Structure 1
Amino acid sequence: MENNTDDAEQKEENSSSPVMDRNPSPPPEAADGLDTEDVDAIGDTVYSKHWLFSTLTRLIHMVTDLSEENPEAQMKLSDDDEEDLCKVWDMAMDKDVARFLQEFKAADILLGVISKSRCPRLTEICVGILGNIACFPDTCVTLSQKEDLCAVLLLLLGDADPPTLLETSRLLLTCLSHKDVCSLWLQRIRQQTSVCPNICFIMCSSTNTDLLEKVGDLVDKLFDLDEELMKSWITAKPHDKKGDESDTPLDLTSCLLEAVKQLRSEKLNAIEIYLHVFQLITTVEEGLENFAAPNGPGKALWDFVCDVVCEDLCQQNDLEVALHEQKSTLVQAFAVLQALYRCQDQWGSRAEPNIDLIGILLRLCQHHSENKEDAGDEQLQALFEITSEFLADLCIHIPKEAVLDLVNKGYLTAEICVAAANSLLPTYKASFQHLQAALLEADPNLADVMRTRFPD
């Protein structure tokens, strides 16, 4: 019995159990047709305080009895117990229920259950209930003030159960999204040294794409909120969970790359999250040094993002579709590629000019010149600006052979040459001149067109 989990910031989508596509049926007291005044409803809901109290009490006794009988035994929930707990999970999405659970000290109860649990499904449900409680600002503040609970939740990032990791990541992301407590959580994450290696281990070893997407969201949020945390994680070299110093240390950017490769094969729309993380990393010196290192992940990331742009986002016959459906992803991709391109001089060898990538940039320039109505679209304008700047970087070093390949593949026609020149001039005059010189050797006729249109 798995659970579908959506973005932590959208509480209305935080579903707990696929068998509960609606709110759970009223508890037995209401279902038996008793008078309304006899039903101890929680707030304005039809949920019973007595039923909720009984369910949580039963949970406490169940976990306590089993842990006393055999502390090491793997525990399994009965179907009835799991169904009732999933009802509580769904009920916690209601603000009145979340507040009642908080008043009932459910967070302390669930912490005790998590600490004693020998059942992955039970742990997942308990964290999921806490995640729904945390969706509301006031209950999130109260929950976040419980230091013991927060410490246990951060340690759960080292759990081996993917559904539990998914719910833990969702809960942490929810708390980081509440402005009143995000600084408190950032402080705890900085202090808990296991968070970085555990997240790296998830990214480099998990094949669960829902988990990888949510962990990517979590890293993106952390880096967006705390640049110093990002710098410390970039430079850290945590070892894997075995703690064996002889093992190759985990590298954050390499782990990010492994995760996004996994997402590409099954969940392409989620890679924008990781591209934004990479882009954030390129904004600090520590990140650029990491990508520029001769044996670092820079070249591998360059090859990967080039493939994504050329093979997945901008195929030959779908440029119009790509522009309107993938424009934000393309902005991130080009920003990352441009930063990596500027690091190439420090690699063992420069990457060969990617003709298809340059061709895509040229086609985007042509599209912009022919579609002035796009001027009101801020994302398309941002895409055009990064396209022009990146094309200028590529053209300043472009060899004659590459220009000849562009002509032979149909990427450089008279119309595209003019569009490229309009994109480069007057800001990137040196790049235009270098392109013109290479074009003169590769295709004198096209060079004459450029000279005629732009005599100065």
Structure 2
Amino acid sequence: MSEGDILCEYESPHAVRNPSPPPELEQKGQNIFDDSIDNTAFSKHWLFTTLMKLIQEVDKETENKEETEFGVDIDDELQNELCRLWDMAMNPDVAKFLQEFRAVEILSGVIGKSKAPRVTEICVGILGNMACDDDICITMSENKKLIQMTILLLESPDPPTLVETTRLLYTCLSNSTARNSWLAAIKQSERLHENVLFILHSSTNCDLLKNTAEFLDTVLDEDEELCLSWTSQEFVVSLLEAVKQIGYSHSDVLETFLHIFQLLSTSEKGVQALVLCSDDVLVPLLKYLMSMCEYEIVGLDGREGCLSSAISVVNVLLTSSHDAADKLTSEPDFIRCLLKILEPAFEQLHEELQDIYREPNKVAVSDGNCENGDSLKEDTFRVTVVPSSSEAVEGDEKKPDNTATDKTGDEIDRKRINTLCNVLRVCLSDFILALETDAADSDSSEPLFVPVLKYLNNSCSRQRITYMLQLLGDGDFESSVQNLKLLADKYSQTRLTGIIANYLSGVRLERSNSLIQDVT
């Protein structure tokens, strides 16, 4: 049976009859209504009466021979009762009771028969609430007709129905046991991708864009084949239109969209699509980073994941698009944002994992601002990270032992911060490499990137520069520090040269002391 036949089956009087009440209702009579649903205060009698009214309403609608694009919606009283049932379906006991008496089949039949958009929205919403129960969701995943009908509902022109349809899809795809059945149906659908593109490109409904983004993010993250097949320049353009609608300030929705961009950037095909739209893609990414860095002190506050996605995608464009590289390396704003974000991330990571030891009498205090002619001497600041967490930072108050802290939450936060620091490390290294490449290719005495060096030399705080050097100072990224020093020296940025030289001197001294300790 083709996809196009699914809804038609419900509509054909010769294919199936109108949805009927469960046989238990006829067999057991009024006795079934005697008790409330399990441990709830919800009435079985009221629930079945409401379902009966809905079925009767669909019967009347079906008997009406006048065909219209949209049926006349049901009266307000029945709508209100159905909305109460919709809310009730979030209760696990009610959801299981509905499942026991074949509510999924009844609601599916109503969706297939009714042309009233409000009825369809409510029925899909009830199914979405029921799907929040893992067992019910798994049972739903065995109903191929329900899956195909849900996918076909993405063609609906009614935004509220689309909101509930995308929510139902996301809920079922989030269930690891039920997921494969839905993914298989999505792969077989010929028009789903086209419908999703239309929603992204055209919708002004933020709830719909949110649910669509969550649905897409799950699909692309779980199925590499779909991620590759859906990747295109048209897809990137549609995503950008949706982002433009929701805005560039931090939100959970924006975080989901930025993660989708990051997923696209993990394949060669995705990188090509992003590069083709590089100018347009950079706009929301840089606006988001700028909004996060609006104030002198950047508060991460659980935004590490969103920042990691944004910086990761920008870095892909930096390393893959010459035009993007020129834009990013010719203005100080990007490096300024990276270093402002690095500061709290670096400090928070080392607060949680290991204490920071500062050499006695060599602590420099910075408020994040530094003007040309900084009064701090070039040899007064060096931070050495040691693996032990037993020593407190000199001058810092001891923090209370939060034994009641949720360890799982702490581990998740630590992982996000660590990921952000790793993304910053790679991006800063690639940024310095881009400066070095431009310097080698430039025919002029002062390349386009010199304002970036001047910003680091004249306006960037010593503390932020040092954090950057520490982040890059180990392993595969160590050469980035040397390259930055060569560029600073070549273009006469003496303060920056001195800070880097001081850092390198401290590193060499630390390694020498470590070697002596190993020998002794």
> Which residue, 256, 279, 288 being the options, matches 1:299?
279
> Which residue, 270, 293, 307 being the options, matches 1:314?
293
**1:411–1:154 Cα change, 3 Å:** farther
Q: Does 1:334 align with 2:311?
A: yes
Partner of 2:119: 122
**1:414–1:180 Cα change, 3 Å:** closer
Cα separation, 1, equivalents of 2:428 and 2:47:
62
Partner of 1:95: 92
Which of these two proteins has the greater Rg computed from alpha carbons?
A: 2
- Name the aligned partner's letter for residue 449 of structure 2: A
Which structure 1 segments of 5+ residues have no match?
1-35, 236-249
**1:146–1:438 Cα change, 3 Å:** same
Cα separation, 2, equivalents of 1:387 and 1:301:
19
Partner of 1:381: 418
- Name the aligned partner's letter for residue 314 of structure 1: C
**What SS does the corresponding residue of 1:87 show, helix, strand or coil?**
helix
Which segment drifts farther, 369-378 or 223-232?
Answer: 369-378
Partner of 2:254: 271
**C-alpha displacement of 1:305:** 0.3
- For residues 240-281 of structure 1, give each alpha carbon's deviation from its aligned partner in whole angstroms, at most 9, with x where no partner exists: xxxxxxxxxx81121112112211258734211111111111
**1:419–1:45 Cα change, 3 Å:** closer
> Which residue, 98, 120, 144 being the options, matches 1:147?
144
> Which residue, 443, 447, 452 being the options, matches 2:493?
443
**1:300–1:37 Cα change, 3 Å:** closer
Answer whether contact 1:366 1:419 (CA < 8 A) is retained: yes
**1:374–1:355 Cα change, 3 Å:** farther
**C-alpha displacement of 1:173:** 1.1
Answer whether contact 1:365 1:387 (CA < 8 A) is retained: yes
Cα separation, 1, equivalents of 2:297 and 2:325:
33
**1:413–1:318 Cα change, 3 Å:** closer
Answer whether contact 2:32 2:44 (CA < 8 A) is retained: no
Cα separation, 2, equivalents of 1:223 and 1:199:
13
Mapping for residues 226-237 of structure 1, pairs under 5 Å: 226-235=223-232
- For residues 176-205 of structure 1, give each alpha carbon's deviation from its aligned partner in whole angstroms, at most 9, with x where no partner exists: 122221111110111112111111111111
**1:267–1:387 Cα change, 3 Å:** closer
Cα separation, 2, equivalents of 1:55 and 1:80:
11
**C-alpha displacement of 1:74:** 2.9
**1:375–1:266 Cα change, 3 Å:** closer
**1:98–1:76 Cα change, 3 Å:** same
Answer whether contact 1:413 1:446 (CA < 8 A) is retained: no
**C-alpha displacement of 1:81:** 0.6
**What SS does the corresponding residue of 2:231 show, helix, strand or coil?**
helix
- Name the aligned partner's letter for residue 160 of structure 1: P
Q: Does 1:71 align with 2:108?
A: no
Partner of 1:180: 177
Alignment RMSD (CA, Å): 2.6
Which segment drifts farther, 140-149 or 414-423?
Answer: 414-423
Partner of 1:48: 43
Answer whether contact 1:203 1:258 (CA < 8 A) is retained: yes
Partner of 2:449: 402
Partner of 1:39: 34
Q: Does 1:357 align with 2:334?
A: yes
- Name the aligned partner's letter for residue 47 of structure 1: F
- Name the aligned partner's letter for residue 189 of structure 2: Q
Answer whether contact 1:368 1:374 (CA < 8 A) is retained: no
**C-alpha displacement of 1:413:** 4.4
**1:133–1:370 Cα change, 3 Å:** closer
Which segment drifts farther, 105-114 or 262-271?
Answer: 262-271
Which segment drifts farther, 363-372 or 350-359?
Answer: 363-372
Answer whether contact 2:74 2:119 (CA < 8 A) is retained: yes
Cα separation, 1, equivalents of 2:289 and 2:185:
38
Instruction: With the length of structure 1 as denominator, give the TM-score of the two structures.
Output: 0.80
- For residues 60-101 of structure 1, give each alpha carbon's deviation from its aligned partner in whole angstroms, at most 9, with x where no partner exists: 121221232223263122111111111221222222322222
- Name the aligned partner's letter for residue 41 of structure 1: S
**1:47–1:285 Cα change, 3 Å:** same
Partner of 1:199: 196
Number of residue-to-residue matches in the alignment: 400
**C-alpha displacement of 1:396:** 1.4
Partner of 1:219: 216
Which structure 2 segments of 5+ residues have no match?
1-30, 355-413, 440-446, 509-520
**1:424–1:44 Cα change, 3 Å:** closer
Answer whether contact 2:278 2:324 (CA < 8 A) is retained: no
Cα separation, 1, equivalents of 2:73 and 2:150:
22
Which segment drifts farther, 385-394 or 134-143?
Answer: 134-143
**1:173–1:393 Cα change, 3 Å:** same
- Name the aligned partner's letter for residue 423 of structure 1: L
**1:68–1:206 Cα change, 3 Å:** same
Cα separation, 1, equivalents of 2:478 and 2:139:
59
- For residues 367-423 of structure 1, give each alpha carbon's deviation from its aligned partner in whole angstroms, at most 9, with x where no partner exists: 566663143733222222211211111111225553444534854344444333222
**1:171–1:365 Cα change, 3 Å:** closer
**1:324–1:139 Cα change, 3 Å:** closer
**C-alpha displacement of 1:130:** 0.8
Cα separation, 2, equivalents of 1:189 and 1:424:
44
- For residues 335-384 of structure 1, give each alpha carbon's deviation from its aligned partner in whole angstroms, at most 9, with x where no partner exists: 11112212113x69843424111012233445566663143733222222
**What SS does the corresponding residue of 2:36 show, helix, strand or coil?**
coil
